[in-house]
Amino acid sequence: MENEAGALSRVAGLFSARGYNIESLSVAPTEDPTLSRMTIVTVGSDEVVEQVTKQLNKLIEVVKIIDLNDGSHIERELMLVKVRATGSADREEIKRLTEIFRGCIIDVTDKSYTIELTGTSSKLDAFLEAVERSAVLETVRTGASGIGRGEWTLKV
């Protein structure tokens, strides 16, 4: 969509006004600074998703829309998670888990680790389940960004 003030609130407003679900939404400018690209994750029947798509297309600032589920695609989300890490056994266990999930520890204190993790949203969920619930001090997630597989590109 056009990288213009207010465009984001039109999208968000549309979802709330029409009662559509918005699971996550991530947005930033593209290589062309006049355009920004947004990935929205929503749930609904085929009819609802069809209406969502049509209604979004009607927004004047929206340039193009694709449903990534129409083809194969890649989806990634970034999560930063701060976990309690006190005893050395705990610290080792968390380091091991982080490795298994191919994350990295990006900040350390004697009581905590901050871990950076990317992957599909379900992988991030799985990591949180693997860590002891009470050890999780804080999480922040970006919501999914998606792109189609292969040489095909979304161009305006």
Separation CA 39–CA 143 (nearest Å): 8
Least CB distance from residue 17 to other proteins, whole Å?
5
Footprint on residues 45-64 left by other proteins (CB under 8 A): 47, 50-51, 54-55, 57-58, 60-63
**Residue 9 in tokens:** 């609130």
Q: Is 23 in the site for other proteins (CB under 8 A)?
A: no
We find the least distance from the C-beta atom of residue 47 to other proteins, in angstroms, to be 7
Binding residues for other proteins (CB under 8 A) = 1-2, 5-6, 9-10, 13, 17, 47, 50-51, 54-55, 57-58, 60-63, 156
